[in-house]
């Protein structure tokens, strides 16, 4: 299945979202007809469709589109993958980095596809814990590697702007499978993502 990146908006969904955002602005005490807000509901409608486009994307198809047979069994690490997502509890952003590694078992994939898989799951309403395991599962099920490791570090605006208001907190989640469940392999991965090699 071919993978094609595109930015498009469903006219009917956009229209309905615009109506709801106009009502939301009114309920919050704003005038949706004032100059600065006239186009805001449409911008919000398009922005929300863009940042949740992961629902229309297939992570496994992305990996399959650049899956190559290769007799390599050394660890492949793609670190510092920027991610931006939306917390499903408050619809506020969380953002940070993902570090992903796998040990091939006959097949590799294009390096950019690993970053795209992160995007597929980040561009949905999420919790960081689920995001971490979804990335791992997609790679595990598509490439059938010897092992997969995923670490996500993120700052959550729901903690920074409201609630406990802890501006400097960072949440780290991890998921390990296969060879990465062994202490030696996991330690090597964690050392690689912590070091500055470039």
Q: Which of 90, 137, 153, 188 is catalytic?
A: 90
Instruction: Assess whether 151 and 103 both reside in one domain.
Output: yes
Q: Known catalytic residue: 156?
A: yes
The mean pLDDT value for 154-182 works out to 89
1: in domain:
no
Q: What is the pLDDT of residue 163?
A: 73
Instruction: Assess whether 29 and 121 both reside in one domain.
Output: no
Instruction: Assess whether 137 and 42 both reside in one domain.
Output: no
Domain span at 135? 59-194
With a cut of 70, say whether residue 165 has pLDDT above it: no
Instruction: Assess whether 27 and 116 both reside in one domain.
Output: no
The mean pLDDT value for 130-159 works out to 97
Instruction: Assess whether 100 and 139 both reside in one domain.
Output: yes
Query: Per-residue pLDDT tens for 33-64?
Result: 999 999 999 999 999 999 999 999 999 999 99
Q: Which of 22, 49, 53, 128 is catalytic?
A: 128
Among residues 100, 185, 184, 91, which one has the least CA distance to residue 134? Answer: 100
Q: Which of 87, 99, 134, 179 is catalytic?
A: 87
The mean pLDDT value for 146-169 works out to 87
Instruction: Assess whether 81 and 119 both reside in one domain.
Output: yes
Query: Per-residue pLDDT tens for 24-38?
Result: 999 999 999 999 999
Q: How many domains does the chain have?
A: 2
Q: Known catalytic residue: 89?
A: yes
Q: Which of 23, 89, 167, 181 is catalytic?
A: 89
User: What is the CA 61 to chain-centroid distance, rounded?
Assistant: 16
Identify the CATH number of the domain in which residue 184 sits: 3.30.1130.10
Q: Which of 88, 129, 141, 181 is catalytic?
A: 88
Q: Which of 49, 99, 126, 156 is catalytic?
A: 156
Instruction: Assess whether 41 and 134 both reside in one domain.
Output: no
Q: Known catalytic residue: 42?
A: no
- pLDDT above 90 covers a percentage of the chain that reads 87
In three state form, how does the secondary structure of the chain look?
CCCCCCCCCCHHHHHHHHHHHHHHHHHCCCCCCCHHHCCHHHHHHHHHHHHCHHHHCCHHHHHHCCEEECCCCCCEEEEEEEEEEEECCCCCEEEEEEEEEEECCCEEECHHHHHHHHHHHHCCEECHHHHHHHHHHHHHHHHCCCEEEEEEEEEEHHHHCCCCCCCCCCEEEEEEEEHHHCHHHHHHHHHHHHCCCC
145: in domain:
yes
Q: What is the pLDDT of residue 169?
A: 84
Q: Known catalytic residue: 128?
A: yes
Q: What is the pLDDT of residue 117?
A: 98
């Amino acid at each position: 299945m071919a993978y094609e990146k595109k930015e498009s908006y469903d006219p009917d969904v956009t229209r309905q979202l615009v109506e709801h955002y106009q009502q939301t602005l009114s309920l919050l005490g704003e005038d949706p007809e004032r100059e600065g807000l006239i186009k805001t509901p449409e911008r919000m409608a398009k922005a929300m469709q863009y940042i949740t486009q992961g629902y229309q994307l297939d992570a496994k198809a992305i990996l399959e589109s650049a899956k190559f047979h290769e007799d390599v069994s050394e660890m492949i690490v793609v670190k510092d993958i920027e991610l931006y997502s939306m917390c499903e509890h408050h619809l506020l952003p969380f953002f940070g980095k993902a570090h992903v590694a796998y040990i091939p078992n006959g097949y590799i994939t294009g390096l950019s596809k690993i970053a795209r898989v992160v995007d597929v799951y980040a561009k949905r309403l999420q919790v960081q814990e689920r995001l971490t395991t979804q990335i791992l599962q997609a790679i595990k099920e598509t490439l059938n590697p010897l092992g997969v490791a995923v670490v996500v570090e993120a700052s959550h605006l729901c903690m920074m702007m409201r609630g406990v208001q802890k501006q400097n907190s960072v949440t780290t989640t991890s998921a390990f499978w296969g060879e990465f469940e062994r202490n030696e392999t996991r330690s090597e991965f964690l050392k690689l993502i912590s070091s500055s090699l470039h």
